[in-house]
Amino acid sequence: MASVIEKIWFEGHPAGTVLKPLLWPLSKVFGAVSRRRRQQYQSGQKRPYRPSVPVVVVGNITAGGNGKTPVVVWLVEQLKAAGLKPGVVSRGYGAKAPYYPYLVDGQSTTAEAGDEPVLIYRRTGVPVAVSPKRAEAVQLIEPDVDVIITDDGLQHYALARDIEIVVIDGQRRFGNQQLIPMGPLREGCDRLQEVDFLICNGGNPQSGEIPMQLVPSDFINLVTGERCEAARLQGEVVAMAGIGHPPRFFNTLKQLGISPVKCQPFADHQAFAEQELQQLSGQGQHLVMTEKDAVKCHTFAQPNWWYLPVDAEMPTEQAASVINRIIEVKEEYGSSSA
């Protein structure tokens, strides 16, 4: 059913016409509830939590994966290089922590913290906190950081923000431009006019959008940590991806010259069964996956399993404009508290 819905959203599947009498009223209800929730914070009827440090939201207006997490990792690395102390907060989608707010550490599992928070912590080592109420997560790490980055949360208006960054899937864009469930939109496209930066992940960026590419690194073995260039990965390859848009990963492999004997998509945030992946792995000499998949597989990984890290890359001048803006806001906070 999920695949049919995505085809309705992004490919104009004829089932959309059949389901329109059901989906259209639900989209109207979704839009009304979404607008009212936002208006309550804009009007002052509800007060958002305002931290003592700047908040940078990295989100989107569509459901599904657009490449937000690589942007968060990129921001963290750039801000650390500039001498700042960033921290990250997340809802921890699909996970159940033993308590909230939850501070991610080296022993945290994806079942406790969620896929993205564990990935971000392992890649960057900065404080990462998880809570469905993002304000609680912020308060947990606020004393130890000078910039907060939220992985997703554009529509989480209970947390005040200083800079909003929207990541756009450059290939699929906004589909049929209808609200959930008739289309993929969490908010209307007019919301894009209010954000600070638009980052276009792949495809053809439009005016005002910063072009971004996800650049793959070497494959890394889940068991040994060995690094291997794509050209050296000899033998039949089985590929799997449990991300928002699995074809993006499979296309990346083809660009690297790898033609998998099998490409197995999984639902985003799906928990993997060890036996299932072992059977999948047995259909080739290597099993390759995304870094997001790998954080869920380390405890039962096999010696022939590899993951492919990717890094966000943007034009130097436009990338600098994002980082410089965050630094400016950080300095404004510093001067106001002096």
Residue 337 pLDDT greater than 60, yes or no: no
Residue 338 pLDDT greater than 60, yes or no: no
pLDDT tens per residue across span 177-211: 999 999 999 999 999 999 999 999 999 999 999 99
pLDDT tens per residue across span 48-104: 999 999 999 999 999 877 889 999 999 999 999 999 999 999 998 888 999 999 999
Inter-helix orientation angle 316-337/68-81, to 10°: 60
**Closest of 1, 303, 19, 337 to residue 178, by C-alpha:** 19
Neighbours of 337 (CB within 10 A): 8
- What does the pLDDT average to over 291-297? 92
Instruction: Name the pairing type of β-strands 128-130 and 102-103.
Output: antiparallel
pLDDT at 208: 94
Instruction: Name the pairing type of β-strands 128-130 and 163-169.
Output: unpaired
- How far is Cα 44 from Cα 330, in angstroms, rounded to an integer? 25
- How far is Cα 108 from Cα 299, in angstroms, rounded to an integer? 12
**Closest of 334, 324, 336, 338 to residue 56, by C-alpha:** 324
Cis before residue 309, ω within 30 degrees of 0? Answer: no
